[in-house]
Amino acid sequence: MKKLINDPADVVKEALQGIAAAHSDRLRVLTEPNNIVRADSPVQGKVALVSGGGSGHEPMHGGFVGMGMLDAACPGEVFTSPTPDQMLAATQAVDGGAGVLHIVKNYTGDVLNFEMAADLARAEGIEVEAVVIDDDVAVKDSLYTAGRRGVGATVLAEKICGAAAEQRRPLAEVAELCRTVNANSRSMGMALTSCTVPAAGKPTFELGATEMEIGIGIHGEPGRRRMEVASAHDVVGLLATPIVEDLPFSAGDKVLAFVNSMGGTPLIELYVVYNELNHFLADRGIEISRNLIGPFITSLEMQGCSITLLKLDDELTALWDAPVNTPGLRWGA
Amino acid sequence: MKKLINDPADVVKEALQGIAAAHSDRLRVLTEPNNIVRADSPVQGKVALVSGGGSGHEPMHGGFVGMGMLDAACPGEVFTSPTPDQMLAATQAVDGGAGVLHIVKNYTGDVLNFEMAADLARAEGIEVEAVVIDDDVAVKDSLYTAGRRGVGATVLAEKICGAAAEQRRPLAEVAELCRTVNANSRSMGMALTSCTVPAAGKPTFELGATEMEIGIGIHGEPGRRRMEVASAHDVVGLLATPIVEDLPFSAGDKVLAFVNSMGGTPLIELYVVYNELNHFLADRGIEISRNLIGPFITSLEMQGCSITLLKLDDELTALWDAPVNTPGLRWGA
């Protein structure tokens, strides 16, 4: 296993120390239990956004803590759900009196633990709503999931709902917006190589020297099919066709197109993919009016990409464009 | 060769089409010859910054075109210098009457071609200054370089000089600032794996299953030593010690610490490296007052990292903090 780490058991702890040292202007890292919270939390009168999940998908979620996005992120060990007590502690730490929204990717452990944390927080008088993200069209059920997996739409929901919370919209409205983003998003991913969980020390799955897997999950969960490596043109067809057919997206739609690196695929390849996606959508009369290209929801060092499309309206577009200041996503007004 | 591409011969062309489609709000992509220029260029009365080099290091340089950074980037084929006529065309396209600064990484082809382009531009009455970046302490001379190679300091010089140009400082002053950034910066990189140039179709060099190379160049040029993979702690010692000793950096210095991914190393590992670097520097009384962590000057899908330290003063810090709006680096005031 070739990785820039020390003891595999310390990867998450030490990465959190690095995040704390690097970004103390925007966030604080708590320990026992581990949580990443906004430096200025709790923000009084603002709905607080909490997300979380296994580590190994950086910058998600800790890199999305800051003004205009998350108030807290609960990092589990690599590809392992955080615990209910972590989620409860995060919820308590960032509640500013206007309630807390849990944004939960649809993996069974995450969903159960966030449900338990929400119950505990409500028992303490904190108003909590939860929205489960399930945008991955690849498979109906998966290794760790009943129903569709939650993937790229999570990043978009955290940005858009974060902007709405900054406008001091009430909890019910921010939660409804989160459901809208999820309902308007579809994703699918693929892998050229496996990744290696540090504690396991060997690849999560085996792919032949000329094979790829279409529909892969962000923890290496099986996808739709394993096949010979194809051109970027054909890969985009294999990912974007089921995405477009599922919603369905149709001529005249404006979309946010998100081309994500699984971690080990460099930007030059993502731009080749984006170029193909742009042509694919233009051929169908679908206009890309916003885009996001880079490693935002990763699977350690896995090579591959995922595509997420979000159908936009004026409100979602304005919230996407609103200022954000996190380590992972940052722009001004 | 597993890559998300079509014909290897079309990678640069198609990536540029992707960049053009994605970022038309900030830049324009010219063809015959290929250049990436600011959407609003030429900016009248502003010193224009032009850089360039082989492709394969994305987001450098094309991803750094925009307000507060470069006016133009000249992309060569993968790991191949752009041509003098490209550089001349870029210089002509962005000259706003206040002169043009060429920021040149120290590789023989880049240096010779930028010199030729500068001569041609001057013959047309355009004022041109050139600064060669040579911050890599790994080796004295290299495969494509007389003297030290230019690496991470290039990103920092482009940001800082871009901010100075936005303030309408004169050419001589922006060029002097670029020399200061170079003089105050030192870098070194390492690789866990090779990369594969698309047109070559096989790895640039071979590394054993448990080997790493310390002092690697961004095109896979040989470094200082090949050795067994070590801990992140030891890797940081091997990179940061020669960096700190070379300038030298000493107790009381404030630095910008830049931890860069070679392309295939994910963010979770970079934060482990950053944590080690933070301790390494703190032990020596050196304070990190700014940081940059992520893939900014890459070597295709190579796994590994590089460290760059820039000694800061108040002026450099203020210019680093100034607003920037490029695809690769973006923040508000």
Residue A261: how many other CB atoms lie within 10 Å: 28
**CB proximity A160 to B under 8 Å:** no
How close A213 gets to chain B, by Cα (Å)?
12
Question: How does DSSP assign B4-59, residue by residue?
Answer: S-SSGGGHHHHHHHHHHHH-TTTEEEETTTTEEEETT-S-TTS-EEEEEEEESSTT
Chain A hits for B272, Cβ within 8 Å:
4-6, 11, 14-15, 18
What CATH number did the domain enclosing A167 receive? 3.40.50.10440
**CB proximity B9 to A under 8 Å:** no
Residues A28 and A76 in one domain: yes
B211 assigned to some structural domain = yes
Binary contact (B235, A274; C-beta < 8 A): no
What CATH number did the domain enclosing B217 receive? 3.30.1180.20
The predicted pLDDT at position B142 comes to: 84
**CB proximity A8 to B under 8 Å:** no
Residues B176 and B200 in one domain: no
The answer to whether B307 touches B259, Cβ cutoff 8 Å, is yes
Residues A89 and A198 in one domain: no
Q: Quick one: pLDDT band at residue A142, thresholds 50, 70, 90?
A: confident
The predicted pLDDT at position B141 comes to: 87
Binary contact (A273, B4; C-beta < 8 A): yes
The answer to whether B258 touches B301, Cβ cutoff 8 Å, is no
A331 assigned to some structural domain = no
Chain B hits for A264, Cβ within 8 Å:
263-264, 266, 301, 303
- Determine the length of chain A: 333
The predicted pLDDT at position A143 comes to: 84
Which backbone phi and psi does B70 adopt, to 5 degrees? -85, 150
Binary contact (A331, B332; C-beta < 8 A): yes
Amino acid, res. B211: E
**CB proximity A298 to B under 8 Å:** yes
B86 assigned to some structural domain = yes
Residues 14-43 of B with CB under 8 A from A: 14-19, 21-22
The answer to whether B23 touches B331, Cβ cutoff 8 Å, is no
Chain A hits for B292, Cβ within 8 Å:
none
Name the residue among A56, A293, A305 with its Cβ closest to that of B268: A56
**CB proximity B202 to A under 8 Å:** no
Name the residue among B16, B298, B327 with its Cβ closest to that of A266: B298
Q: How far apart are CA A48 and CA A97, in angstroms?
A: 9
Chain B hits for A271, Cβ within 8 Å:
14-16, 18-19, 22, 58
Residues 93-112 of A with CB under 8 A from B: none
B289 assigned to some structural domain = yes
**CB proximity A183 to B under 8 Å:** no
Residues A80 and A46 in one domain: yes
Q: Which residues of A are catalytic?
A: 57, 219
Chain A hits for B275, Cβ within 8 Å:
14-15, 17-18, 21
The predicted pLDDT at position A215 comes to: 97
Chain B hits for A63, Cβ within 8 Å:
267
Of B171, B185, B163, the closest CA to residue B319 belongs to: B163
How close B2 gets to chain A, by Cα (Å)?
6
Of B159, B155, B175, the closest CA to residue B294 belongs to: B155
Q: HSE on the CB side for B244, CA within 13 Å?
A: 24
Residues A140 and A60 in one domain: yes
Residue A172 in tokens: 């019910």
Handedness of CA B200, B202, B208, B214 (dihedral sign): positive
The predicted pLDDT at position A333 comes to: 60
The answer to whether B275 touches A22, Cβ cutoff 8 Å, is no
Q: Helical H runs in A184-304? A: 232-246, 267-283
Residues B212 and B172 in one domain: no
Binary contact (A22, B264; C-beta < 8 A): no
The answer to whether B35 touches B73, Cβ cutoff 8 Å, is yes
Which backbone phi and psi does A195 adopt, to 5 degrees? -120, 170
Handedness of CA A56, A57, A63, A68 (dihedral sign): negative
Binary contact (A15, B268; C-beta < 8 A): yes
Residues B45 and B140 in one domain: yes
Q: Residue A55: give the domain boundaries.
A: 16-184
Residues A99 and A172 in one domain: yes
Binary contact (A266, B293; C-beta < 8 A): no
**CB proximity B5 to A under 8 Å:** yes
B28 assigned to some structural domain = yes
Query: What is chain B's pLDDT, residue by residue, as a tens digit (333 residues)?
Result: 999 999 999 999 999 999 999 999 999 999 999 999 999 999 999 999 999 999 999 999 999 999 999 999 999 999 999 999 999 999 999 999 999 999 999 999 999 999 999 999 999 999 999 999 999 999 998 888 889 999 999 999 999 999 999 999 999 999 999 999 999 999 999 999 999 999 999 999 999 999 999 999 999 999 999 999 999 999 999 999 999 999 999 999 999 999 999 999 999 999 999 999 999 999 999 999 999 999 999 999 999 999 999 999 999 999 999 999 999 999 986
3-state secondary structure of A152: coil
Number of Cβ pairs < 8 A linking chain A and chain B: 191
How close B170 gets to chain A, by Cα (Å)?
27
**CB proximity A179 to B under 8 Å:** no
Give the pLDDT mean for A172-185.
Answer: 98
A2 assigned to some structural domain = no
**Best interface-test mutation with B: which of A31, A268, A321 has the largest number of B CBs within 10 A?**
A268
Supply the DSSP symbol for B8. G
Strand A100-105, strand B128-133: pairing: unpaired
- Its ipTM equals 0.98
Q: How far apart are CA A21 and CA B288, in angstroms?
A: 9
Q: How far apart are CA B316 and CA B324, in angstroms?
A: 15
Binary contact (A232, B4; C-beta < 8 A): yes
**Best interface-test mutation with A: which of B2, B4, B229 has the largest number of A CBs within 10 A?**
B4
pTM of the model: 0.98
Residues B232 and B173 in one domain: no
**CB proximity A5 to B under 8 Å:** yes
Question: How does DSSP assign A249-262, residue by residue?
Answer: --TT-EEEEEEEE-
Give the pLDDT mean for A249-260.
Answer: 98
Which backbone phi and psi does A40 adopt, to 5 degrees? -100, 20
**CB proximity B192 to A under 8 Å:** yes
pLDDT at residue A16 is higher than 70: yes
**CB proximity A196 to B under 8 Å:** no
A1 assigned to some structural domain = no
Residues B152 and B61 in one domain: yes
**Best interface-test mutation with B: which of A4, A77, A326 has the largest number of B CBs within 10 A?**
A4
Name the domain count of chain B. 2
Q: How far apart are CA B319 and CA B157, in angstroms?
A: 10
**CB proximity B269 to A under 8 Å:** yes
Q: What is the CA angle A187-A193-A196, rounded to 5?
A: 100
Binary contact (B264, A268; C-beta < 8 A): no
Domain stop point among A152, A184, A216? A184
**CB proximity A230 to B under 8 Å:** no
How close B204 gets to chain A, by Cα (Å)?
16
Q: How far apart are CA B38 and CA B322, in angstroms?
A: 18
**CB proximity A305 to B under 8 Å:** yes
pLDDT > 90: what percent of chain A?
98
Residues B102 and B57 in one domain: yes
pLDDT > 70: what percent of chain A?
100
B68 assigned to some structural domain = yes
Residues B60 and B169 in one domain: yes
Binary contact (B22, A274; C-beta < 8 A): yes
The predicted pLDDT at position B333 comes to: 60
Domain stop point among A131, A151, A184? A184
Domain stop point among B128, B153, B184? B184
Binary contact (A266, B268; C-beta < 8 A): no
**CB proximity A123 to B under 8 Å:** no
**Residues with Cβ < 8 Å from B313, sequence gap 6 or more?**
B254
Q: How far apart are CA A132 and CA A306, in angstroms?
A: 19
The predicted pLDDT at position A20 comes to: 98
